[in-house]
Amino acid sequence: GESVGLHLPTLSVQEGDNSIINCAYSNSASDYFIWYKQESGKGPQFIIDIRSNMDKRQGQRVTVLLNKTVKHLSLQIAATQPGDSAVYFCAENFNFNKFYFGSGTKLNVKP
């Protein structure tokens, strides 16, 4: 299930299950979005992106859904693996290449 920690909400899933991580973005003018994965002590790693003229984009084991009406993004990870454990951030772009990050969700994959 999903719980709210001190600063980061945490999503715990069983290995092999699908994960859905949600993000609410702030600016209706945002036209480009990226999901990043950040492991402890490391910089963010690009996962998948989507432009505002799309509502869905698929990658390898990951899918991003965009709902502009409610300013909502989601990241779906299929067959979650222990290596997927990390903090996931969505980032929005609305000011010429500047990205603003959401608050993040910690994904904990249980073996």
Partner 1 sequence: GAVVSQHPSRVICKSGTSVKIECRSLDFQATTMFWYRQFPKQSLMLMATSNEGSKATYEQGVEKDKFLINHASLTLSTLTVTSAHPEDSSFYICSARDPGLGVTDTQYFGPGTRLTVL
53 is a site residue for partner 1 (CB under 8 A) = no
# chain residues binding partner 1, by CB under 8 A: 24
Name the amino acid, one letter, at 43: G
Is 94 a binding residue for partner 1 by CB under 8 A? The answer is no
70 Cβ neighbours under 8 A, 6+ residues apart: 24
Q: Is 11 in the site for partner 1 (CB under 8 A)?
A: no
Stretch touching partner 1 by CB under 8 A, among 1-9, 11-19, 57-65, 74-82:
1-9
With 0-12 / 13-18 / 19 or more C-beta atoms within 10 angstroms meaning exposed / middle / buried, residue 64 is buried
Integer Cα distance of 2 and 88 in angstroms: 14
**Among 3, 70, 83, 98, interactor with partner 1 by CB under 8 A:** 98
Which residues contribute to the site for partner 1 (CB under 8 A)? 5-8, 32, 34, 36, 41-46, 49, 89, 93, 97-104
